[in-house]
Amino acid sequence: MAYCQSLASGTAGLTDGSLAGQWHLPSKAELEGIGTDPPAMWESGYPSVTWTKPGTPFTGVQDDFYWSSTEWANPDGAWSVRMYSGVVNSLGKSLYYYVWAVKNGQ
């Protein structure tokens, strides 16, 4: 979460004029709604998914889990979405996976 909050124009390839504090790690609901077709869902199996919002493809999406900011019952874990399959799962925070920062108000 701290990494996402520290993002600003000039870091991580950003050239949008943003300032630190304008980005955040999305909640589980935000991450599920980034633009999957079919929608991401808990233990959905392995359907074919497309990671785009209508008319706006995302590039560089990794075939792996992306963290959300939403913790699950165990405070040592958080919810994540696997971009390949759309599966939503809870994982231990000690694991290394990707983050998809979102801009506040976007």
Q: What is the pTM of this model?
A: 0.78
Supply the pLDDT for residue 31.
Answer: 83
Domain ranges within the chain, ordered by starting residue: 27-99
Of 37 and 13, the structure prediction assigns the larger pLDDT to: 13
| Mean pLDDT, all residues of the chain | 81
Q: Is the pLDDT reported for residue 35 higher than 80?
A: no
CA 37 from centre of chain: 15
pLDDT digits (tens, 9 = 90+) for 75-98: 899 999 887 777 788 889 999 999
Beta pairing partners, 67: 80
